[in-house]
Amino acid sequence: MNRIVATLSIAAAFAAGCGVTHLMQPARAAAENITAQIIHTQDFSGDALGPANSGGMHSKMFVSADGSTISIQDGNVGKHMHPNTNEIQYILEGTGTIWLGDQEVRVKPGDLVIIPKGTAHGGTKPDGRPLKAIAIKTPPQAPDDTKMLD
């Protein structure tokens, strides 16, 4: 009798958990703070994007929703990878070379760089002005999801 009660209790708890999770999805979506806006990317460079990280990169997140983030990044960054995060960069300003996988490639304003998770990238070598880009990351990058490479 106790086994039947225990089994039914576990099944009921599991069903309740599934139901609550399903009901919470609209609540989570409603909690996202997205507003219609225009972001004048030319107004954000250097310190206007926040303090530089240890590598000299300034970054500011503008949108976080539906499993992705959108930020503006300005500056040089060492060669690295994100084991769990895909990244798409749209180059706004600056020209130079970056690592993408096992190749150095030239980038210029207007280029769209697709970086699947686990792909080496960065190692920026600008020709003059550091690169400034819009970075879209999906899923949002966890604080420990950057592995610096040589």
Together in a domain, 58 and 123: yes
Q: Are residues 81 and 19 in the same domain?
A: no
Residue 16 and residue 50 in one domain: no
Do 27 and 46 lie in a common domain? no
Residues found in the chain: 150
**Res 5: pLDDT:** 58
Q: Domains in the chain: how many in total? A: 2
Instruction: Note whether 101 and 143 are same-domain residues.
Output: yes
Paired tokens of 23: 């009901």
20 lies in the same domain as 59: no
23 and 72 both lie in a single domain: no
**Residue at 127 is within a domain:** yes
Query: For residue 71, which amino acid is it?
Result: S
Which CATH number goes with the domain that contains 132? 2.60.120.10
What are the DSSP calls for 30-65, one per residue? Answer: HH---------GGG--GGGG----TTS-EEEEEEEE
| pLDDT at position 36 over 60 | yes
pLDDT tens per residue, range 80-120 = 999 999 999 999 999 999 999 999 999 999 999 999 999 99
pLDDT (0 to 100) of residue 105: 97
Domain span including residue 24: 1-31
The reply to whether 85 and 12 lie within a common domain is no
2 pLDDT band (50/70/90 cuts)?
low
Residue 36 lies in a domain: no
Nearest Cα neighbor of 132 from 140, 124, 123, 143 is: 124
Report whether 103 contacts 111 (CB < 8 A): no
**Whether residue 65 is found in the same domain as residue 91:** yes
Domain assignment present for residue 24? The answer is: yes
Q: Is 128 domain-assigned?
A: yes
Distances (CA, A) of 22 to 26, 29, 110, 122, 149: 8, 12, 41, 39, 40
Q: pLDDT, tens digit, for every residue of 8-35?
A: 555 455 554 545 444 444 434 444 668 8
pLDDT in tens, 70-82: 999 999 999 999 9
